[in-house]
Amino acid sequence: VLEHLKQQGCSHVVFTDCQRDANIKKIVPLVAKLVDSSPRYHRAESTEYSILVIGVPNVGKSSLINSLRRLHLKKGKATAVGGEPGITKAVLTRIQVCEKPLMYLVDTPGVLPPKLGDVETGMKLALCGGIRDHLVGQDIMADYLLYALNKRQHFRYVQRYGLAQACDDIESLLSHVALTQGKTQKMKVLTGTGNVNVTMLNYQAAAYEFLRDFRAGLLGRVTLD
């Protein structure tokens, strides 16, 4: 991937998970070098760096800022993070992440194109948390996820949920997940002799479990693109 980006003219790229790898240490020196070598930077007399952090929703912008603060300032969280889009709702004040050089980052809400190119792109973004689940529907997302896993021959879900074999029927999968993990709900049924309370499988809860396991990496390291 890095080689492909370099061929496209993107020479200054750093991959990091913001937590465990050493690449997080490369960000501040690289940013300082790029800004310092820019003619635009030298128009001002200020020697501090103010940098806007932008990206699609739920990609980890706030986590990146907090990680840089911990690394360079030994400080705790300065901006809220969460596992769903929309945690950051407005452009915040500048957040210092480094002393030498003096560097501030500005967190921003996630941005997406006003119109997605196709439905599949939207499904991938939704699975990765770029679009709120309720806007798509967890059952629809679970159906696409099963299709995507099977297409890429990632069958860890078979072992995860104790299936006999891989399947391509989302209803069967969710039924098995709900049954084995106790995802049930009580429903009131109106009959000719009165109301009857029955216990039914909760397919929505099973779909949420399926999506959560995927996002937590419990179904394997899967690339949707």
Shared domain for 54 and 74, answered yes or no, is yes
CB 210 within 8 A of CB 147: no
Q: Does residue 72 form part of some domain?
A: yes
Classify residue 26 by its DSSP letter.
Answer: G
Handedness of CA 124, 176, 155, 59 (dihedral sign): positive
pLDDT of residue 164: 92
pLDDT of residue 15: 78
Q: Which of 107, 78, 100, 108 is nearest to 28 (CA)?
A: 100
Shared domain for 210 and 170, answered yes or no, is yes
Residues facing 164 on adjacent strands: none
Q: Does residue 176 form part of some domain?
A: yes
Q: Residue 20: what are its φ and ψ, rounded to 5°?
A: -105, -25
**Along the 225 residues of the chain, how does pLDDT read in single tens digits?**
566 666 666 777 777 777 667 888 888 888 888 877 776 655 556 667 788 888 887 777 888 888 888 888 887 666 665 555 545 554 566 788 888 878 888 877 777 777 777 888 889 988 988 888 888 889 999 999 999 999 999 999 999 999 999 999 999 999 999 999 888 888 777 666 777 787 888 999 999 999 999 998 999 988 888
pLDDT of residue 6: 63
Shared domain for 25 and 123, answered yes or no, is no
Q: Does residue 92 form part of some domain?
A: yes
Q: Does residue 30 form part of some domain?
A: yes
Helix (H, G, I), strand (E, B) or coil at 61: helix
Retrieve residue 210's tokens: 């399926």
The model's pTM is: 0.63
Number of folded domains that form the chain: 2
Shared domain for 85 and 123, answered yes or no, is no
The three-state (H, E, C) secondary structure of 188-213, written as one string = EEEECCEEEEEEEECHHHHHHHHHHH
pLDDT of residue 43: 58
| Separation of alpha carbons 36 and 30, rounded Å | 10
| Residues of the domain holding 162 | 119-216
pLDDT of residue 214: 94
pLDDT of residue 82: 55
Shared domain for 142 and 186, answered yes or no, is yes
pLDDT of residue 158: 95
